[in-house]
Amino acid sequence: MNSVTNGPAPDRRRPVVGICARTAPVTLQGGDLVVSLALQSHVAFLAEAGCTPLLLPLAPGAEEIVGRLDGLLVPGGPDLDPALYGAPAHPATRAPDPDADRAELALVGRALEAGLPLLAICRGMQLLNVLHGGTLHQHLSDVTGHDGHRPRTADFTLGRQPLKLAPGSLIAAVLDEDEPETACHHHQAVDRLGSGLTVTGRAGDGTVEAVEVMDHPFAIGVQWESGYTPDKRLHQALAHAARRLRKETSAAFSIH
Q: Enumerate the domain spans of the chain.
A: 16-21+34-255
Cβ(164)–Cβ(100) below 8 Å: no
Rounded CA-CA distance 206/144 in Å is: 9
Cβ(126)–Cβ(189) below 8 Å: yes
Task: Say which amino acid occupies 96.
Answer: P
Encode pLDDT of 18-64 as tens digits. Answer: 999 999 889 888 889 999 999 999 999 999 999 999 999 999 999 99
Rounded CA-CA distance 52/17 in Å is: 6
- Give the pLDDT of residue 175: 96
1 pLDDT exceeds 80? no
> In terms of C-beta density within 10 A (0-12 exposed, 13-18 middle, 19 or more buried), how is residue 193 classed?
middle
pTM value is: 0.91
Nearest C-alpha neighbor of 134 from the set 201, 97, 188, 177: 188
Residue 42 CB contacts under 8 Å (≥ 6 apart), including other chains: 19, 53, 73, 75, 227, 235
Rounded CA-CA distance 129/70 in Å is: 22
Nearest C-alpha neighbor of 174 from the set 199, 200, 195: 200
Rounded CA-CA distance 212/2 in Å is: 50
The two beta strands, 181-184 and 118-121, are unpaired
Cβ(68)–Cβ(53) below 8 Å: no
Topology of domain 16-21+34-255, CATH: Rossmann fold (3.40.50)
Encode pLDDT of 200-236 as tens digits. Answer: 999 999 999 999 999 999 999 999 999 999 999 999 9
Encode pLDDT of 155-204 as tens digits. Answer: 888 889 899 999 999 999 999 998 899 999 899 999 999 999 999 999 99
Q: What is the DSSP letter of 152?
A: -
List, as one string, the DSSP characters of 89-106: PPTT-----HHHHHHHHH
- Give the pLDDT of residue 3: 47
